Amino acid sequence: MPSRWDPAMRVALDQAAAAAGHGDVPVGAVLLDPAGELIAAAGNEREQTGDPTAHAEILALRRAAAALGHRPDAWRLDGCTLVVTLEPCTMCAGALVLARIGQLVFGAYDPKAGAVASLWDVVRDRRLNHRVEVMGGILADECGAVLKDFFGDRR
């Protein structure tokens, strides 16, 4: 059954495909404003840039903050939604909390490094000063297949 998040996840899948095109793990992310309009999009760029923090989620957050201008609180992404093809890792989950993201929507679960549901639940930890609403499994089979195909081709 289609969800309201499918169109945004399809844009994230396009970003993932672009990342694979330059040798990066195919993960894509889009950031939506509170009205659901696209603010930023990114795919992984670690291999392309040599930057270990160039995960799709981090890049989308950076681009969104830049798009909002140089106001003092541009880093606060209150009410925004991050849509990403793979469950975020601990670095990205922590960044979502620090950016005050309102909602996270992800595709495939990551049993090896997932920090939102699979291994940890960083974004909803009551000890932190902000908690993110989470919805997982959106187009999960399609998101997972992109990763399986990518790694299968490398073996």
- pLDDT given at position 88: 98
Q: Count structural domains, the chain.
A: 1
Catalytic residue among 45, 47, 57, 87: 57
89 is known to lie in a ligand binding site: yes
Across the beta sheet with 81-86, the strand order is 38-43, 28-32, 81-86, 103-108, 133-135
CATH number of residue 76's parent domain:
3.40.140.10
Spatial contact of 144 and 108, defined as CB atoms under 8 Å apart: yes
pLDDT in tens, the chain (155 residues): 789 999 999 999 999 999 999 999 999 999 999 999 999 999 999 999 999 999 999 999 999 999 988 777 778 899 999 999 999 999 999 999 999 999 999 999 999 999 999 999 999 999 999 999 999 999 999 999 999 999 987 76
| Domain around 57 | 5-153
Residue 37 a catalytic site member: no
